[in-house]
Structures are given as structure tokens and as C-alpha cells.
Amino acid sequence: MSTSTNILNIKNIEVTYDNVILALHDVSLKVPKGKVVALLGANGAGKSTTLKAVSTMLASERGKVTKGTIEYDGTSIEKQNPSQMVGLGMVQVLEGRRCFGHLTVEENIIAGAYSRKLSKGDINQELEKIYTYFIRLKERRKSQAAFTSGGEQQMIAVARAMMAKPKMLLLDEPTMGLAPQLVAEIFNIVKELNQKEGVSILLAEQNTNVALKNSDYGYIIETGRVMLDGTAQSLLSNDQVKELYLGISKKGRKNFRDVLKEESLTKKKIN
Amino acid sequence: MVEELLFFMEVLVGGLLAGTMYSLVALGFVLIFKASATFNFSQGAMVFFSVLAFVGFMQDFNIPFVLAFILAALLMVVVGLCTERFVLRPLMNASEDTVLMATIGLGYVLEGLAQAAWGVEVRRLDLGIGDFPVPWIADNLKLFISALDITAGLVAAIMIIGLFLLFKYTKIGLGLRAVADDAGAASSIGIPLKHIMLLVWSAAGVVALVAGCMWGARAGVQFALVDLALKALPVLIIGGFSSIPGAIIGGLIIGAVEKVLEVYIGPFFGGAIEGWAPYVLAIFFLLYRPEGLFGEKIIRRV
């Protein structure tokens, strides 16, 4: 993949929190323009940290990229802040939805257009367009966001991000705590946004199976390192992924690293 | 009997109107609490600083009333600007407690600056509105109500309507409400926190100036105005820290309750219960309705 076709290019980044806690050791990944890339791994593997490093939201949690580079749309993001990143077309949907609870559904979505200079008419036009993807939200536009369901809140969060007219979306666990039917609904919307609006997507998920089925490419990270990557198809049929992340296994539960260790041991034996 | 009722009405209305003066001070706290979830300990100093500057412009430089007021308002915007740049921005990712401590420091800086620039003696502020009963009301309704109290009531009403419109119908108002709900999420969709902070601190500064004018006209422009801000604490506890209508209603309640209690129950305690009665009321609120009357309940999905 040449750099021009990648909207996002992360090279060997290391991230520390509070100058001491090493959260990412060495993560490299690429997101080709117009594609959906899944970032998979368990709790604490570094998925959220990676996304926050990209959106520059790390600073607000006293985190810092201490090594490596992140290039977005051909330029380094090193000196940017979150609102500048939004201006450049990169919007993150934070983990846990984070709706503005006291605002109505519609106010939440309109707030997403804050960084753009739009007239009232333009905003209404954009809103109508957004509502075509999130039909459910249109019905609930006047309710207070805090009183909507978890699935609706996730939709609000994505709709809000879309109002900023992003070229790239970072979705942090969009299906967390949602019923399977809603998980499918959210992913359908994400797919649709990707295809119709041409938004490139990097999503962090624990729901490996659904995430890979809806992505083009996948990265698996564990304890701050990329352990495996490949096309979504190849990962879905990969034995190790099947065993560790999809729960299809004949043996007991194992750590990914143990599997690699076993592998290298068997290789040594053969040699 | 009629006379007693009239007297009660007089006490009540006088208390309510005096309460609007508390409301004005409390309003400044609410603005800042909404945006940064911090109790701004420097609000009292801001009241003192702004009104002293206003009086100073008029008396030391012979600047006309309106122009001096505008200058003082602009000065408060500059104070807001400097606060954002030199206090809040470096503490951007610090905890709320740290910011709280910083506001205490900011208070001392403002007090010191004000006194260094304008001196320490008590100054008289003449708004051209007397602090004595309005003859027309006294003649027709038999109520003795101060013109200054009525003015304060009107000013408070205008400010609350103005702020309400600002928050409800403007883009920056929407931004402020978003930041008040979740600052992290707000910055994730590109709402620049520093603009919001700047707006809030400037608005709080101007509100402080207005409150200072009212209090200064009544009690003289003096250092005691700083402590006046403490009276806003029970107002906020009753009204709710994050609610603008709450600040107004809370002020009214405190004003009315303290006057009525002072007149009817005060004698049993040897008088002067005005000073502590509001705090007793505040304690009851803390026990039974900690979010206040209008405070935003913390909404949690279970």
C-alpha cells in the first residue's frame, strides 16, 4: 500500500500515561482511504489508547505519544489538538457513547456541526440527511438524550460525529453493552455511512466476529503490541483468531502469546 | 389586622427584592459552575474588582457614567481573557480540585490588584436611584419598598432573560451546554473549550459588575463586597449550582426567609438572625434535596 492511498498511517508508536505507564509498546497500522479497519483485542490491550493517540485526545488524559509517527491525510498530527483534528475531518466517537444527557437528541446532533460555519438552513438540510441514516432518532428528536436507550445513544453519538462532515471516523467500541439485534443495526449504519458517504473508518471492538464481518482489514493487538493483522477474511479463517477471539476451540482458553510461544517452540523442535 | 397583613407584605416584598441582589451574585457562580464544574471562589473578588474599577473610572478620571460602565465591562472581559490564558489553560487537564484552588488564588490577585490601583477607602457609588421607599407605591399600596430594590429586581429579570436566550438559541450557548454536560465529548466533536471558557468567564465578570453596582450603591464600594459572595452559597445550595433560574429563585427564597424570620422570630433570639438563618435553611436542603430546587439531577441510566 503506498502512502497516498492511506488516509491514516501509524508507524511504530509508543504511548505513555503520566510519563511512566507504558500503554502502547509498538503499534503500526494503516487505514486505506474509504475502507473499514477493525482494531481488535481484549480490555486494556490498547485499542482506546491507539484511537486517542490518533484523535489527539490523549493529552486530556495525561498521555503522550513518545515514539513513532502518526500521519493523517499526508500530514503529521503531532502538533494538532482535538478541535483542529475535527477541522481536518477526523472525528472520534468516544467509548461509552458520551451523549450530552441534558440536551435533546436533536440538539446533540446539531452540536456536532459546531466546528462548521453553517447557516440555520444548511444545518436543517444536514440534519435531514443524517436522519435518513438514523430513522429512529428522527422519531425521538425532541426527547432528552439521557432518557433514550443505549442503542439510541450510540446512534446519537455517531450521528453527532457525522454532522462534522468527517473524512474519517474513529469508533471506540460502538456495540458495547448492546443487544445482538442492535449490534447488527449499528454496524449496518456504519457500513452504509462508509459506502454512501465515503467515510474511512477505524473501529475498536471486542466483538471480534461482527467487527471482522463488517470490515475490510483487521489488526489484533495485545498488551500494547500488534500481534497479528490481515484482511478480515483471512483473520476470520485464521485458526489462532478462531480459538482465541471467536471462541471456536477444542482445547481450553489460552493467551495469544502462549500460542505464539508454542508455535516458536514447535518450530525450534522441527529445526 | 389589615395593618399587620400590610406589614407582613412589606417585609416579604422587601425581602424578595433584596433577594434578587443575592441572585445577581449567585448568577456569576452558576455560569462558571456550568462550564467547569468548579465553585469559583474568586467571584466575590470579581464583584469587588469590577465595581471598584467602575467607580474609579468615574471618580478618578471623570469618565461619564455610561462610558465608565462599558469600560469596566470591557475590563472584565480582559480579566476573563487573562484567566483563561494564564490560569485555566495551563490547568486544562488538571482535576477540578486543582482548578478550585486556583480560583482562590485568583481571588487574592484580583483583590490585591483592585486595591493597588484604586486604594482601600470606601467609595460611594451613586446610581441616581435612591435607597428609599418609592412615594407612589407608599401612597397607593401602603407598602414601603426601596427604589433600589425594585431596580435590582428589574435588572435581575433582564439578565436572566438575556442569559436564557443566549444559552437556548445561540450556537455558543449550545456549545456551553454541551461542555457543561460532558467536556470530553464536546472537545471530541470539535467544540473549542477555550472559547467556551472565555465566554463564561467574561459573562461572569459582567454579571459581577452588575451585582457590584447594586450592592455598591447600597453599602458603599468596599472590601466587604468580597465576603458578600459567601451569601451566594446558601442561595446556590437551595437553587442548585448549575441552574440559572435556580440562582434567581434561590436568591428570592433566601431574601424573603431571612427578612421574615428576622422580623418575626428574630426577637426570640435577640435579633440578628439574618446572618445565619440562610445557612440553616441550606443545611436542610443539603440533607433532603442536595441537588437544590432546580439543579440538574444527575441522570444515570441503570
Is A40 in contact with A219 (CB distance < 8 Å)?
A: yes
Given the C-alpha cell 502462549, which residue does it identify? Answer: A258
Q: Position B277: which residue type?
A: A
Q: Is the dihedral of CA A94, A100, A106, A107 positive or negative?
A: negative
Condensed to tens digits (0 to 9), the pLDDT of residues B169-207 reads: 899 999 998 988 888 899 999 998 888 888 889 999 999
Mind listing the pLDDT tens digit for each residue in B83-141? Answer: 988 988 888 777 778 888 999 999 999 999 998 988 888 888 877 777 777 777 777 77
Average pLDDT over all residues of chain A? 88
Using a CB-CB cut-off of 8 Å, the residues of chain A touching B34 are: none
Res B301 pLDDT > 60: no
Average pLDDT score over residue span B238-258: 86
Mean pLDDT along residues A2-28: 86
- For the CA atoms of A250, A256, A259, A263, the dihedral, rounded to the nearest 10 degrees, stands at 140
Asked if B171 and A114 come within 8 Å (Cβ–Cβ), the reply is yes
* B189, B242, B302, best to mutate vs chain A, most A CBs in 10 Å: B189
Nearest neighbour of A94 by CB, restricted to B92, B177, B185: B185
Residue A116 distance to chain B (closest CA, Å) = 9
Model confidence band, residue B302 (pLDDT cutoffs 50, 70, 90): very low
For this complex, say whether ipTM is above 0.90.
no
Poorest-confidence range of A129-143, A236-250, B50-64, B159-173? A236-250
**Quick check: A177 contacting B, CB < 8 Å?**
no
Inter-chain residue contact B180 with A102, CB threshold 8 Å: yes
Task: pLDDT band for A165, please (50, 70, 90 cuts).
Answer: very high
- Stretch B9-33: mean pLDDT, rounded? 85
Give the Cα separation of B196 and B37 in Å (integer): 13
Out of 3.40.980.10, 1.10.10.60, 3.40.35.10, 3.40.50.300, select the CATH number for domain A3-235. Answer: 3.40.50.300
Distance CA B274, CA B263 (A): 9
pLDDT of residue A219 exceeding 80, the answer is: yes
Contact status, residue A76 vs residue A13, Cβ threshold 8 Å: no
Asked if the model's pLDDT at residue B27 lies above 60, the reply is yes
Q: Is the pTM of this model over 0.90?
A: no
**Chain B CB contacts of A98 below 8 Å:** 182, 184-185, 188
Where do the domains of chain A lie? 3-235, 238-271
Q: Is the pLDDT of residue A85 over 60?
A: yes
Least confident of B111-120, B226-235, B276-285: B226-235
Query: What is the arrangement of strands in the sheet containing A200-205, beginning at the earlier edge strand?
Result: A75-76, A63-72, A6-17, A21-32, A225-231, A217-222, A36-40, A200-205, A168-172, A90-93
User: Can you give the pLDDT at residue A2?
Assistant: 46
CB contact under 8 A, A103 and B178: yes
Give the gap in angstroms from C-alpha A49 to the nearest C-alpha of chain B: 14
